[in-house]
Structure 1
């Protein structure tokens, strides 16, 4: 739906808004705050009151889904992103997905987040610190077409198998900045109770994962666990959702110390996945515009972003928890989970120029702020042994993406990538890949 809105804005003949009317960050309200550049300014005009429909495409975004596939049947649903959940002056955020098909594939997920750094100024607007939050999520999914191509960097597309994965989970998460609100150091913790069941898949032309890999799937079946994630990073980026400058270098640990499993193959003993990540964003000279006033909440800045991630697994975890490449975040020309093993590395680079730089009024308060593209290249590999990780065959993807914003906290993207195997993959998401 958001793609349709973009086309309507381009082709509908609406006159572009005057650039001078763009929101300017209020210096008087930011004065005295620690790290004022890391607070997002939302004027009253961007916080309309009313239900989800009345706020549509201003603070609520709905994506209807309709499809028919011989493997999963006919179905549909919707996704909702609400950046002003319950009309709380931008202090809360929620995301919901509901889909169902005639063959029993389903998804229900709901995530809620409360921003812990939030200041409201009635009659003017609100300031939102985007580094500190508390969140809750619940998820219930049954996916009939999960793909598995085997472990290792030398697996082939012809090795494709499918399995059904049913997941139920509830999670609690907390993130805080140090030493003061908006500080360069950020720590986070997440606790998730999760149950996973594995059975035969429904992809007609693929092998059955439970038949080809009976030991792996048996070990991963009926797997209940408490998953704990802890991370810390040094983050100098000017924003979390849409940064234009800075870096983020961090370490995260994901483990399952508590396991409840009843499997014929025996119970896994649990393990830990360590992930080292780095992201760098830098402004670059623009090609399609001349820039804008840096005092604006979302200044007109082109950028180049790079990303590096190295992951390693110790102990015993289900195969579906192994580091994986492919999908919407890494190796975007390949299907999600195309490459999987105990260890992985991946890197990416994006050039992000803005092209359509004037606001496009659509209806009343609804407007498309700006649009641009992203030229990207991703690379990576996986390995059973960390010692051999960087000796394995390197796989890559390249492509082009569409980026458009309704404001700095509401960026949507559609990426079209091509892999080194000649496959093409399209992903549509809220937010940047890195």
Structure 2
């Protein structure tokens, strides 16, 4: 888990005069996890408008997260979403490097806790997607995905070293992306009303003989009950196809976004299917914002969902796994509606195992 604390030189009110101002927010990162020990680092968020009329152009942001551990592990990440005037172009860039341990459980929807294998992963990923507005709220675009991976496991008898998982040697890979999106959400972050539908395909270029394709479908809808309450729903489907698809490109459930309550990558296979719904409530949302300690920035949420992974021609509704939970959020940057999110998720309990749970401290909503 990670604990993030937000610090800024001065707080500003989220009134109409502030809504077109750029803002830089640095913060330290402190945390602890069994596989890493003590974690420490820093991050920063910069939000800005390319067109200073927020009625015509969404705000853009650049976000950086950098962390080290007492076991000489590291993670560096940069993410951004840039909106050009009148939202004609949206360009997203994600870059991350990790030298970090992860738990590996194998492939399939019925992996066992007893097979847990700690592996060290050194991974670099760079992804850029450019989308151009075709007509109102409808976008089409292209992308580039470059990745380098290496994995090692200390236990010679563990499932990683003894199992037949394609791509264990890691190496370089490159994919070309193509697809489109419909987006009429009121806000990109902390959405309260509107819909989002993205269909994005990726095709590998055959580097290291990795020949495969990836397809992602992400559908979301939000409706506002009143100024303090809204409900959101998401349906997600992902698939990786090809006889030479590395195991680490297989879709998975778990983590702080899809199927909260399961360890990230706890289940992975050729297909991933998930649905979740969330109720969000800002009790003091009608009050005027008075800066960092304003109650109007505090909100609460409850969520419920289900999902699974499965191989080709092996789908069954009986394999769906549940998840539910709740938490609270603090909106530390009202212009970009950036939030610090605290969630506790609960999953299923396999026979002979502890119930799956997870506590998450993350930036922004899960969807």
TM-score range, shorter chain: 0.7 to 0.9
Instruction: Write the mapping of 1:356-371 to structure 2, written as runs, cut at 5 A.
Output: 356-357=284-285, 358-359=287-288, 361-362=290-291, 369-371=296-298
Question: What does residue 314 of structure 1 align with?
Answer: 241
Pairs within 5 Å for 1:45-194: 47=21, 59-67=23-31, 71-84=35-48, 93-117=61-85, 129=87, 132-144=89-101, 146-179=102-135, 183-194=136-147
User: Do 2:3 and 2:361's aligned partners in 1 also have CA atoms closer than 8 Å?
Assistant: no
- Which residue in the other structure is 1:211 paired with? 161
Structure 2 CA distance for partners of 1:252 and 1:173, relative to 1, 3 Å = closer
Q: Per-residue CA shift, 1:116-154, capped at 9, x if unaligned?
A: 126xxxxxxxxxx4x73334443321112x122222211
Q: Which consecutive residues of structure 2, in runs of 5 or more, have no partner in the other structure?
A: 350-354
Residue deviations 1:308-355 (CA, integer Å, cap 9, x gap):
122222203211111100111111011111111001100000111111
Mapped partners of 2:126, 2:289: distance in 1: 40
In 2, the alpha carbon distance for the partners of 1:65 and 1:201 equals 29
Which residue does the alignment assign to 1:431?
364
Q: CA RMSD in A?
A: 3.2
The aligned residue for residue 314 of structure 2 is 388
Q: Please give the secondary structure, in 1, of the residue aligned with 2:323.
A: strand
State whether residues 343 and 389 of structure 1, in contact with CA within 8 Å, keep that contact through their aligned partners in structure 2: no
- Which 10-residue stretch deviates more, 223-232 or 70-79? 70-79
The structure carrying a bigger helix percent of its residues is 1
Partner of 2:343: 415
- The alpha-carbon deviation at position 393 of structure 1 amounts to 1.3
Residue in 1 aligned with 2:217?
276
CA offset digits 1:202-253 (Å, max 9, x no partner):
9xxx97443242x316x23232111222221223322322322222233211
Equivalence map 1:235-314=2 (5 Å):
235-259=183-207, 261=208, 267-268=209-210, 270-284=211-225, 286=226, 300-314=227-241
C-alpha deviation, 1:4, in angstroms: 5.9
The structure-2 alpha-carbon separation of the partners of 1:155 and 1:210, relative to structure 1 and needing over 3 Å to count, comes to closer
Q: Distance in 1 between matches of 2:220 and 2:59?
A: 27
Q: Hey, what's the Cα distance between the residues in 1 that align with 2:122 and 2:175?
A: 17
Distance change >3 Å, CA 282–CA 390, structure 1 → 2: farther
Distance 1:236 1:273 in 2: 26
Deviation, 1:420, is 1.4
Q: Distance in 2 between matches of 1:110 and 1:136?
A: 8
1:165 positional shift: 1.3
- Name which one, 1 or 2, has greater alpha-carbon Rg: 1
Structure 1 segments unaligned to the other structure (5+ residues)? 7-16, 25-42, 49-58, 119-128, 262-266, 287-299
* Rounded Cα–Cα distance in structure 2 between residues aligned with 1:190 and 1:431: 23
SS of 1:216's partner is: coil
Pick the aligned partner of 1:200 from 146, 153, 167: 153
CA separation of 1:68 and 1:307: change in aligned 2, threshold 3 A? closer
Q: Report the Cα distance in structure 1 between the residues aligned to 2:157 and 2:254, rounded to whole angstroms.
A: 20
TM-score, normalization: structure 1?
0.71
